[in-house]
Structure formats: C-alpha cells, structure tokens
C-alpha cells in the first residue's frame, strides 16, 4: 500500500500527531485487516460522497477507503554520515511514497527545543540537509559510471541520464531538493529510477499552538513555512497535534461540541489526510449496489483493468469491461433508473482511464 512517512526533529509533535492518527484509526468501524505494524497508522479517508451514494443506493454497510501513515523516528544531525540510527532513518524514508514533515510552530517554554529556540526554517533545513547529502552521495557513485557509458559507449539512455545528473548535482550541492526542479516526463522517469530521497513529494505540517487552531494560516511560523514550501513545490497545512490527539479520543458528541467551541468545522486530521492523498495523486472510485457501498483508492491515470485489480487481482486478470457512471450523475439524476434512462451509464474497456468519483461495476472472467 502507498504510505506517507512522518518525519521531524525530536520534540516537534510527531508522536502526538501519530497518536492522533492511530486513535482515529482505532475507531474505524470496518477495519478489514488486523495485522499492522506498530509504526503504521491507518485512517479512513473522509468523503461525503459515500453518504449520498448510500442514500440513493442503500447497502448493508458503508466502507470508506483508507490511508496509511508510517512513523519514522530518529532523525539526527549527521544521519547522512551514518551516525547512530541515521542510516536506518534514511532507509525508512526510502521505503515511503511521500514525506509528511512535521515542524514545530508553537511556543512553549516547558517543551525543550533541540536547538534551543523555535525556528521552523532552521528545523526544516536541518532535516533537508541530511536528505540532500544522502542523495548527493548516492548520485556521486552513479555519476562516474553513467558518464563513462555516455561518453565512451555513446549509450543513449546513459546520455539522457547524464543530462539529468548534470542538472541535479549542482542543485543538490546548493542544498536544493530534487523536487524543486521542474522535470519533464522523460526526466521524471529517470529521476524516479534514481530512488532519491529529495524527489519524494513533501507535505509540511506546521504544528501550531492550540490557540492558532481555528486559523493556523494566521500564525507567523506557518507563514514562514508556507513561503519555504512554495519555493520547493511542496504543500503545507497547519494543525495542532495536541488538539488533534484530544479530538481523536472524543465521542461524536464531544467532538462536535469541541469543534464548535474552537470554531472549526472538521478535525485538522481530515485536512491532513486529504492533503496526503492529494500529494500522492490518489483518487477514489466507488462500488455500490451490492452488500456494501464502498470507496477505493487508485492512482490518477490508472486504466480500468489496473483499477479493478485494486479490489482483487482476479478482477484485473479476467477483466472484461467496466460498467460505470459518475458520482455527479448519480447526485443529479438521483436514481440508478434515471441514470440508465438518461444514457449516463457507460460500458468502458481496457483503455479507459478511470476518473475520480466513478461508480463502477467490473465484469470479469474467473
């Protein structure tokens, strides 16, 4: 499964946020699989469309799709030199599909800051420097090999890769992550194959004070982080990890009351989940009309057979076609019958690129 790894300096609120995630996940009604690693937190992806589908095409139960966060502990200065847990930390980052970088954006004299003062940009740089150094080291080894292949053997692929490396290296040397460069599609493929740390998408989470919860964007720390994130094509959201942990423990009634008091309409965790989903280019399709109304996750650009494989590998192997209509149409025509009469239910084949919000029935050979 796709996962976003939570990183950050010590004492910035990572565990607090991760606790909020696991507690929210523990509430999940339809938890399908029990075995999960202690550093993995699974949450439901909030989606109002599910309720509307259930209203119009009722089923026994409603099953939201899920999203995984992985807690990556142990960043230390010097990680790229393999100090202490450093190597392990970098390896763990290599395994995740995206990075959620938690940054302290609250003042609290009782909570020690590793470098003695709250300075979000300095904190971000500390971690990013380690990642940049690790990438520099890994491309250095590759550089000479590719250069040789490009120059002596005139190998086409090597020539293309060399061009990317020649652009990448000075950027990294200047402390810039690979994602800060706008790569075209071909270059992007090469970058992908380099398994870099700094090419992974990043979402910065400004852990703001509880007082700033209603409008995190008003916090000065948030604004600093936002400016930094913009420059490297990354996103940022502001939440209060401590408040989220409290919210995750409340029953629905207390939750509603607390949120109203704070002037928020939904938990910040929902925004985090959506932002992480978006960062990974994830989309949702639905199945309905059977025993359950259910949301599933796929990656933007996937074609019908691959998407069928999200449900079961047999569906992909034996794929015949997809019977589908959009959520917008269901919402508008308000019944299956009306959708069919309006000719809005379509038969799609192997080449169909599934769209977010599609409600699909897959037909397949067993």
Residue positions in the annotated binding site?
11-16
Residues 6+ apart with CB under 8 A from 60: 291, 292
Shortest CB 119 distance to ligand GDP, Å: 15
Q: Which two tokens stand for residue 240?
A: 């209060």
Beta-sheet pairing, 319-326 with 292-299 = unpaired
Question: Strand, coil or helix: what is 138?
Answer: helix
Among residues 3, 5, 7, 8, which is the contact residue for ligand GDP, using CB under 6 A?
8
Q: Smaller CB distance to ligand GDP: residue 16 or 65?
A: 16
Nearer to ligand GDP, 108 or 323 (CB): 108
* Candidates 4-12, 121-129, 165-173, 269-277; binding stretch for ligand GDP (CB under 6 A): 4-12
Binding ligand GDP by CB under 6 A: which of 108, 166, 173, 231? 108
Minimum separation from the CB atom of position 208 to ligand GDP (A): 7
| Footprint (CB under 6 A) of ligand GDP, residues 154-183 | none
Among 12, 93, 100, 302, binds ligand GDP (CB under 6 A): 12
Contacting residue, 4, 5, 7, 14, with ligand GDP by CB under 6 A: 14
**Helix extents (H) in 268-320:** 268-279, 304-311, 313-317
| Residue 11 in contact with ligand GDP, rule: CB under 6 A | yes
Rounded-to-integer distance, Cα 199 and Cα 69, Å: 19
Shortest spacing between CB 113 and ligand GDP, in angstroms: 10
Site string for ligand GDP, 239-258 (x = CB under 6 A): -xxx----------------
Hey, which residues between 187 and 226 contact ligand GDP (CB under 6 A)?
207, 209-210
Q: Which is nearer to ligand GDP, 208 or 282 (CB)?
A: 208
Stretch 78-107 residues interacting with ligand GDP (CB under 6 A): 106
Which of 197, 239, 233, 209 has its CA nearest to residue 94?
197
Stretch that binds ligand GDP, among 79-87, 163-171, 238-246, 289-297 (CB under 6 A): 238-246
Chain-centre distance of CA 194, in angstroms? 20
| 118 φ, ψ (degrees, to nearest 5) | -80, 115
Residues 73 and 305: their CA atoms lie apart, in Å, by 37
Contact between 265 and 259 under an 8 Å Cβ cutoff? The reply is yes
DSSP string, 226-244: HHHHHHTT-EEEEE-HHHH
Contact set for ligand GDP, span 110-149 (CB under 6 A): 111
Which whole-number Å values give the CA distances from 253 to 17, 27, 225, 249, 295, in the listed order?
22, 14, 34, 12, 25
Residues making up the binding site for ATP? 11-16
**Interface positions with ligand GDP (CB under 6 A):** 8, 10-16, 106, 108, 111, 207, 209-210, 240-242
């Amino acid at each position: 499964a796709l996962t976003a790894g939570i990183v950050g300096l010590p004492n910035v609120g990572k565990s607090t946020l991760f606790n909020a995630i696991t507690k929210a996940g523990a509430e999940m009604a339809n938890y399908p699989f029990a075995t999960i690693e202690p550093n993995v937190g699974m949450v439901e992806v909030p989606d109002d469309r599910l309720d509307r589908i259930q209203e119009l095409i009722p089923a026994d139960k409603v099953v939201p799709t899920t999203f995984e966060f992985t807690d990556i502990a142990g960043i230390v200065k010097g990680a790229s030199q393999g100090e202490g847990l450093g190597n392990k930390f970098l390896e763990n980052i290599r395994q995740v599909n995206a990075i959620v970088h938690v940054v302290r954006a609250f003042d609290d004299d009782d909570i020690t800051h590793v470098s003695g003062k709250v300075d979000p940009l300095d904190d971000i740089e500390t971690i990013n420097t380690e990642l940049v150094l690790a990438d520099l080291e890994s491309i250095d080894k590759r550089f000479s090999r590719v250069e040789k292949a490009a120059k002596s053997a005139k190998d086409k692929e090597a020539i293309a890769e060399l061009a990317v490396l020649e652009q990448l290296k000075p950027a990294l040397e200047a402390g810039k992550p690979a994602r800060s460069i706008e790569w075209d599609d071909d270059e992007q493929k090469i970058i992908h194959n380099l398994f870099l740390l700094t090419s992974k998408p990043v979402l910065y989470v400004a852990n703001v004070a509880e007082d700033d919860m209603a409008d995190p964007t008003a916090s000065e720390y948030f604004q600093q982080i936002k400016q930094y994130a913009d420059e490297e094509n990354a996103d940022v959201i502001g939440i209060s990890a401590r408040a989220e942990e409290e919210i995750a423990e409340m029953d629905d009634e207390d939750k509603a009351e607390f949120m109203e008091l704070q002037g928020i309409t939904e938990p910040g965790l929902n925004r985090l989940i959506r932002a992480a989903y978006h960062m990974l280019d994830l989309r949702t399709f639905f199945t309905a009309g059977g025993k359950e109304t259910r949301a599933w996750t796929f990656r933007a650009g996937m074609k019908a057979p691959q998407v069928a494989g999200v449900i079961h590998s047999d569906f992909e192997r034996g794929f015949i076609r997809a019977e589908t209509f959009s959520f917008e149409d269901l919402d508008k025509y308000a019944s299956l019958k009306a959708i069919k009469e309006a000719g809005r239910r379509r038969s799609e084949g192997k080449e169909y690129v599934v769209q977010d919000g599609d409600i699909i029935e897959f037909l397949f050979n067993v």
